[in-house]
């Protein structure tokens, strides 16, 4: 039903709320909500821009909401309640707590709203009507395989620190973390949770809240466990930038591989400058545009979006970006990544 434009290679209850209407395409009776984790992370800023542009093109009234911080579950629940009360046709949601949010999502669906998860699958995934997302496990696997390839034989003795989002373990973080470990060649424990693997190469896990400051403090905690960590996985590029600063403070910024996921312009620039060794780029504009199209289709004729073949979600694409390619791991350069980046 939908076609991605990227290939698989290539303070109160509502922290932020805005609305606008356009009528160019004659769908003025259709309304939608976009609920993101924050309104500061460049990924979600770009997602909001994409949803706003699509709403204007389609003539859909759009309300946008965001948590005050990554992990602000209560604000997202309040936003869903507002969308139900407003009579919205559908909700596009990037959930902070992917399991706890499901009861609010169920209420929205029972009220007749189409609920589409963007970027972050719900737990369980079928709690939403559909999911438009990067294959986050594959994104993690690519950066893990790249890191192992860079180290070569030394990968057998690696010392790995992992910086996730938060202790609630939202699905997007679990998928990326576990994909990275598998790509690096580490046997997984419970694939639906991070932190129970017993491979001696894993120094430890910490959390970053997906932010630069959290990445710095999380990296400092990991270095306190083992100052000779030489591989760092990060949930996103702001966390990677913070980890780099912590490493630079002890003079180790040039001998540690940092890998990440997102593909925003600042992150891709950090690849070009050697701060990040490799990142997996995803495409929030596509997620938002496809989500808006799906809400209009549902409101018009009741049709539901279809998943990508062999997956339980619609894959919006991922590309590994690095300037130090590894044989057998498909990638594009940072220069190519900058042509596709956002933020």
The per-residue pLDDT for 154 is 98
End-to-end Cα, the chain, rounded Å: 28
pLDDT value at 18 more than 60: no
Question: Beta 257-262 vs 231-234: how paired, if at all?
Answer: parallel
Report the pLDDT averaged over residues 298-302. Answer: 96
Return the higher-pLDDT residue of 5 and 195.
195
Q: Do 41 and 210 contact (CB within 8 A), yes or no?
A: yes
Token reading at 340: 């596709």
Token pair in block for residue 333: 């350069």
Is the predicted pLDDT of residue 299 greater than 60, yes or no? Answer: yes
**CB of 86 within 8 A of CB of 35?**
no
- Find the mean pLDDT for residues 246-261: 97
**Going along 21-159, which residue ranges are E strands?**
31-36, 61-66, 90-93, 114-118, 130-133
Predicted pLDDT at 27: 55
Give the span between the Cα atoms of 32 and 63, in whole angstroms: 6
Q: Mean pLDDT across the chain, nearest whole number?
A: 92
The predicted structure's pLDDT at residue 28: 59
In whole angstroms, what is the distance from residue 35 CA to residue 196 CA? 31
pLDDT band for 14, please (50, 70, 90 cuts).
Answer: very low
206, containing H or E segment: strand 202-207
* 221 membership: H or E segment, kind and range: helix 212-225
Q: pLDDT digits over 25-60, tens only? A: 445 589 999 999 999 888 999 999 999 999 999 999
| Statement: residue 13 has pLDDT above 50 | no
Find the mean pLDDT for residues 163-171: 94
- Is residue 275 predicted with pLDDT exceeding 70? yes
Please check the confidence at residue 7 and state whether its pLDDT lies above 60: no
């Amino acid at each position: 039903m939908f076609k991605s434009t990227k290939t698989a290679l290539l303070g109160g209850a509502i922290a932020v709320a805005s609305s606008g209407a356009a009528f160019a395409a004659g769908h003025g009776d259709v309304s939608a909500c976009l609920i993101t984790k924050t309104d500061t992370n460049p990924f979600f800023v770009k997602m909001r821009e994409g949803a706003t542009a699509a709403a204007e093109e389609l003539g859909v009234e759009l309300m946008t909401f965001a948590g005050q911080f990554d992990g602000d579950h209560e604000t997202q629940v309040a936003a869903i309640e507002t969308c139900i009360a407003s009579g919205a046709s559908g909700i596009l949601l990037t959930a902070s707590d992917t399991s706890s949010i499901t009861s609010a999502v169920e209420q929205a669906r029972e009220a007749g709203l189409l609920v589409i998860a963007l970027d972050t699958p719900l737990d369980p995934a079928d709690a939403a009507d559909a999911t438009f997302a990067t294959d986050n496990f594959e994104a993690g696997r690519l950066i893990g395989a790249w890191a192992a390839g860079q180290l070569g034989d030394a990968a057998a003795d690696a010392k790995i620190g992992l910086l996730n989002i938060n202790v609630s373990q939202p699905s997007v973080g679990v998928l990326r973390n576990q994909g990275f470990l598998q790509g690096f060649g580490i046997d997984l424990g419970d694939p639906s949770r991070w932190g129970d693997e017993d491979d001696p190469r894993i120094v430890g896990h910490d959390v970053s809240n997906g932010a630069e400051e959290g990445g710095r403090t999380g990296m400092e905690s990991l270095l306190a466990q083992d100052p000779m960590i030489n591989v760092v996985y990060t949930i996103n590029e702001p966390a990677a930038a913070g980890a780099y600063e912590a490493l630079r403070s002890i003079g180790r910024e040039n001998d540690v591989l940092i890998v990440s996921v997102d593909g925003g312009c600042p992150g891709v620039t950090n690849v070009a400058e050697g701060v990040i060794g490799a990142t997996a780029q995803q495409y929030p504009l596509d997620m938002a545009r496809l989500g808006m199209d799906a809400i209009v289709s549902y409101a018009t004729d009741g049709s539901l979006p279809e998943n990508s073949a062999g997956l339980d979600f619609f894959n919006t694409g991922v590309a590994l970006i690095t300037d130090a390619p590894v044989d057998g791991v498909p990638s594009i350069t940072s220069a190519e990544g900058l042509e596709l980046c956002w933020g």
